[in-house]
Amino acid sequence: MMDWEEISKKSINWLPTLDASPYLLYLLVVKTALKRIVYIILTLLSPLLAIAQQSYVKGQVKDEGGAPMQNVTMLLHSNGYLYKTGNDGSFGIMIASKTDTLTIFREGYQKEMRVITAGKFNDIVLKKAVVIKNIAPNRLASLTQNLDRGQQQLWFSGDETYASIIENNFIEALSYPTTGVSLNIDRASYSNIRRFLTLNSIVPPDAVRIEEMLNYFNLGYHEPPPDKPFEINTTLTNCPWNKTNQLLFAQINSKKLSLEKVPQSNLVFLIDVSGSMDMPNRLPLLKSGFKGLVNNLRTVDSVSIVVYGGTVGIALDVTSGAEKEKIFKVIDSLQPGGSTPGESGVKLAYSLARNHFIANGNNRVILATDGDFNVGLRKEEDLEEMIMQQRKQGVYLTCLGVGMGNYKDSKIQTLAQRGNGNFAYIDSYREAEKVLMKEFMQTLYTVADDAFLSVQFNPKYVKEYRLIGFDNKVGAIRDTAAGIEGGEVGSAFSLLVAFEIVPAEGYQKQLTEPAGYLLRFQNSNNHTVCEMNEQPQLFFTPFNQLSNDYKFASAVIMFGSLLRGSKYVKEATWSDVINVAKPAVDLTNYSQKEFLDLVEQAKKLYGKKRKKEE
Domain coordinates in residue numbering, the chain: 4-52, 54-126, 142-257+447-609, 265-441
Maximum mean pLDDT: which of 471-485, 510-524, 542-556? 542-556
Please give the residue that has the higher pLDDT: either 469 or 475: 469
Residue (of 159, 183, 179) closest to 168 by Cα position: 179
Distance in angstroms (rounded) separating the CA atoms of residues 394 and 338:
32
Mean pLDDT, residues 533-560: 94
Choose the weakest-confidence range: 95-109, 123-137, 159-173, 451-465: 123-137
Q: What is the pLDDT of residue 595?
A: 97
Mean pLDDT, residues 148-152: 45
Report the percentage of the chain scoring pLDDT > 90.
Answer: 41
Three state DSSP letters for 74-132: EEECCCCCEEECCCCCEEEEEECCCEEEEEEECCCECCEEEEEECCCEEEEEECECCCC
Beta carbons within 8 Å of 189's beta carbon, 6+ residues apart? 207, 208, 209, 210, 212, 213, 216, 425
Distance in angstroms (rounded) separating the CA atoms of residues 307 and 30:
63
Please give the C-alpha separations between residue 237 and each of 461, 512, 525, 555, in angstroms, as whole numbers: 14, 12, 37, 14
Q: In which band, very low, low, confident or very high, does the pLDDT at 15 lie, cut at 50, 70 and 90?
A: very low
Does the domain at 54-126 match CATH 1.20.1250.20? Answer given as no
- Cα dihedral 598, 600, 602, 604 sign: negative
Please give the residue that has the higher pLDDT: either 565 or 81: 565
Choose the weakest-confidence range: 64-68, 558-562, 590-594: 64-68
Distance in angstroms (rounded) separating the CA atoms of residues 582 and 584:
5
Mean pLDDT, residues 85-102: 84
Mean pLDDT, residues 410-427: 77
Mean pLDDT, residues 503-529: 83
Calculated CA dihedral for residues 518, 519, 522, 525, nearest 10 degrees: -130
Distance in angstroms (rounded) separating the CA atoms of residues 457 and 201:
40
- Tell me the longest C-alpha to C-alpha distance in the chain: 123
Q: In which band, very low, low, confident or very high, does the pLDDT at 145 lie, cut at 50, 70 and 90?
A: low
Mean pLDDT of the chain: 81
Angle at 375 between CA 374 and CA 379, to 5 degrees: 160
Please give the residue that has the higher pLDDT: either 52 or 472: 472
Please, what is the end-to-end C-alpha distance for the chain in angstroms? 75
Burial class for 330, CB neighbours closer than 10 Å (0-12, 13-18, 19+): middle
Distance in angstroms (rounded) separating the CA atoms of residues 289 and 297:
13
Residue (of 247, 251, 239) closest to 514 by Cα position: 247
DSSP output for 536-587: --B----GGGS-HHHHHHHHHHHHHHHHHT-GGGTT--HHHHHHHHGGG--T
- Do 217 and 592 touch, CB atoms closer than 8 A? yes
- Domains 142-257+447-609 and 265-441 alike in fold: no
pLDDT at 517 over 90: yes
Give the homologous superfamily in CATH for domain 142-257+447-609. Answer: Gamma-adaptin ear (GAE) domain (2.60.40.1230)
Tell me the pTM. Answer: 0.71
Does the domain at 265-441 match CATH 3.40.50.2300? Answer given as no
Calculated CA dihedral for residues 271, 272, 277, 283, nearest 10 degrees: 0
Sheet strand arrangement including 90-95: 90-95, 55-63, 121-126
HSE-CB for 106 with a 13 A CA cutoff = 18
Q: What is the pLDDT of residue 117?
A: 84
DSSP output for 175-230: T--EEEEE-----HHHHHHHHHHHTT-PPPGGG--HHHHHHHHTTT--PPPTT-SE
